[in-house]
Amino acid sequence: MSEVVAAILPALSIFADGLTWVFFLLGFVMGLVFGAIPGLSGAVALALLIPVSWGMEPRQGMVMFAGVMGAVAFGGAIPAILLNVPGTAPNVATCFDGYPLSQKGKAGVALGAAATASCLGATFGILWLVILIPAVRLIIMKVGPPETFVLILFGLFAIALFVRGNTLKGVCAGGLGLLLAFVGFDPVTGALRYNFGTMYLYDGIRPIPVIIGVFAISEAINLSIKGEAVAQVEISSKASDVIEGVRSVFRHRMTLLRSSAIGTGIGIIPGVGGTVACIMSWIAAAQSSPRKAFFGSGEVEGVIASEAANDAKDGGALLPTIAFGIPGSAEMAVLLGAFILHGLVPGPDLLSPGGLPLVWCLILSLFFSNILVSSAGLLMARHLAKLTMIRGNVIAPVIFCVCLLGAYSIHLSIYDAMLALIFGFVGYLMTKYGFSRVTLVLGLVLGTKAERNFHLSLMMSDVGGWIFLTRPIALVFVLVLVAVVLIPILRRLKRGRL
């Protein structure tokens, strides 16, 4: 305990310097803006700030980077809720219920719930970061490709289990997503597949332009055709709506805790990413809720699940980054580059008594940033909700321009912008004819990761596919997956529906 106190006090002392707050607020504003602009992300903001940090004291640089990471998640939730435009890839799960709430005139409720869930989810993740730092080596070394594959397989099965409306159409959309995931080089064998002679497809179909197109541009097309506002009923934009959103988080506290745990746990696993964490949390919330039939049509519990996991993942992702130099997410990969720039070596040196004050600077700054962005979100929510009253033919051109610019800016590729535009029309047609856009995204995002981890599992196995049953953690995941698949079927049999 004395070592912990000795590390916290120097970390706190740096916040007595006014210049530190300037750097912190710079990172905070960058994270909020880059989170809210579709196509940009925390990784881009961090990359832009790395040159700025040159010459800074390492602790001040870490404070600035943590300001970005804390703000970007909720920043991405704002357009996801108001316009069905996911600011960052993980915010796609927030669109599922956040945007339908806006259409019902309850944008204030959704924003209040998102801000509160973000803050509490981040606090949960940071708390477990502090608790698990001593045991992080054991946790990470026990989770490999077999465990990751089974975990992702759960998400793929969710395509059939949780699709709303016509199940066959949902499965078809999910199958299309899987087919899109197999375009380009095989991640293990290197075989080239389905590129149609186009060099752009060598690296596969990039998920972010597809997500921007399917959700954001398709909605802009729909708004421009209808000419109506996002909110289909008159909104009151009262502070009571925001308060109702805050209260809903505490009413669904089990969803908050479960989603925060999922976000933290998946964040620890390198390479899985926040999108998987948020989708998994949304699926888990839908499966356990007595109102699961309403998920995807404006259930505030879905917003809570997604945003709690999205912010909790950062605490988990920091663990492998600071302990082994293994980045748990794209943001952490850029942060690792910042470590190298400042001469910091992850591992025993960073977790030693001499390096712990720097780690605590990251942890405290991440916590302060989440508190600040959630407070700002609650204060601005009632005013932001008024955006949903703007007529569609006015706001649609803005969405078009921002989305195409965001898709282009990721890799400075005009083909990314064209891909987003193509899938914008695909998404519009899917909506018009009752096909699920959610399952398309699930198939695309999870398909590539599933294939890679499946191949790696077989390559490291002496018993073939039995490796998924011979490793204890993987076996537990398999049993959970079987239970999740069979329980709904058994319930239907019991009720005489089959």
pLDDT tens track for 377-404:
777 766 665 655 666 677 778 778 877 8
Q: Which of 102-111, 150-159, 316-325 has the lowest mean pLDDT?
A: 150-159
Nearest CA among 41, 66, 24, 7 for reference residue 321: 66
Task: Work out the average pLDDT over 315-328.
Answer: 70
Q: Which residue has the higher pLDDT, 187 or 64?
A: 64
The pLDDT, as a whole number, for residue 498 is 47
Q: Which residue has the higher pLDDT, 199 or 211?
A: 199
* DSSP symbol at 114: H
Q: Give residue-wise pLDDT tens across range 1-21.
A: 455 556 676 767 777 777 878
The pLDDT, as a whole number, for residue 194 is 80
The pLDDT, as a whole number, for residue 114 is 85
- Per the CB < 8 A criterion, the answer to whether 349 and 355 are in contact is yes
Report whether pLDDT(34) > 50. Answer: yes
What percentage of the chain carries pLDDT values higher than 90? 0
Q: Where are the alpha helices (DSSP H) in 385-461?
A: 392-411, 414-432, 437-459
Q: Where are the alpha helices (DSSP H) in 162-271?
A: 167-181, 207-211, 218-226, 239-251, 253-268
pTM: 0.66
Nearest CA among 218, 254, 100 for reference residue 164: 100
How far is the CA of 230 from the CAs of 145, 233, 239, in angstroms? 42, 9, 20
Q: Which residues contact 148 (CB under 8 A, 6 or more apart)?
A: 269, 271, 272, 449, 453
Query: To which residue do tokens 């964040």 refer?
Result: 267
For 290, phi then psi, to 5°, come to: -70, -10
Q: Which of 193-202, 229-238, 367-376, 378-387 has the lowest mean pLDDT?
A: 229-238
Query: To which residue do tokens 């305990």 refer?
Result: 1
How far is the CA of 328 from the CAs of 137, 302, 315, 335, in angstroms? 14, 24, 10, 10
For CA atoms 150, 154, 155, 159, give the dihedral sign: positive
What percentage of the chain carries pLDDT values higher than 70? 76
Q: Residue 62 belongs to what H/E stretch?
A: helix 58-83
How far is the CA of 229 from the CAs of 332, 392, 437, 471, in angstroms? 38, 5, 21, 53
Q: Which of 29-43, 72-86, 393-407 has the lowest mean pLDDT?
A: 29-43
Categorize the per-residue pLDDT at 233 as very low, low, confident or very high, splitting at 50, 70 and 90. very low
**Average pLDDT of the chain, as a whole number:** 75
How far is the CA of 380 from the CAs of 109, 231, 237, 371, 386, in angstroms? 12, 18, 11, 14, 10
Categorize the per-residue pLDDT at 140 as very low, low, confident or very high, splitting at 50, 70 and 90. low
Q: Which residue has the higher pLDDT, 393 or 311?
A: 311
Residue type, 289: S
| Cα distance between residue 233 and residue 235, in whole Å | 6
